[in-house]
Amino acid sequence: MGIGAWRGGLGAVREFELLVSGGVSIEGDGHRHRPWGLDGGGQGYPATLQLLSGNATQELPSKMPYRRMHSGDRFLCVGPSGGGYGAPTARAPEAVRQDVLDGLLDRDAAERDFGVVLTAANEIDMAATARLRAER
């Protein structure tokens, strides 16, 4: 996701497994360019597509013509995430804390990217947060 006062949307992660041998074609998009951020927000991340076959992993393009596949082959599809809007240090500290509690960020990313200092118990250290944000 792109960082910002309003962070970019999260890309969906889906995995598909072929239950019988057959063929597939793919017509996706969003693999080449990172979605841009606006007004100080950070870029999002492009989509990815992987073929997982046995012990091998292969990166695939966003568009693929018909290809023969085998039972047990899997596709891992990660959708693009949106760019952020606004300065990351303008994001409400409680919203950043909630992102950490939801598993979208870790405490290091909260501090590095948003200027929010969390304690080991994931409580906001308001004094340290104010100092860090003032330095930026």
Mean pLDDT computed over 48-60: 93
Mean pLDDT computed over 2-28: 93
Rounded distance between C-alpha atoms, residue 100 and residue 106, angstroms? 5
Rounded distance between C-alpha atoms, residue 107 and residue 11, angstroms? 21
Domain ranges of the chain: 13-78, 92-135
Task: Categorize the per-residue pLDDT at 84 as very low, low, confident or very high, splitting at 50, 70 and 90.
Answer: very high
Q: What is the pLDDT of residue 88?
A: 96
Q: What is the pLDDT of residue 35?
A: 94
Q: What is the pLDDT of residue 29?
A: 84
Q: What is the pLDDT of residue 28?
A: 84
Entry pTM: 0.78
Q: What is the pLDDT of residue 111?
A: 97
pLDDT digits (tens, 9 = 90+) for 87-99: 999 999 999 999 9
Closest to 7 (Cα-Cα) out of 41, 33, 36, 30: 41
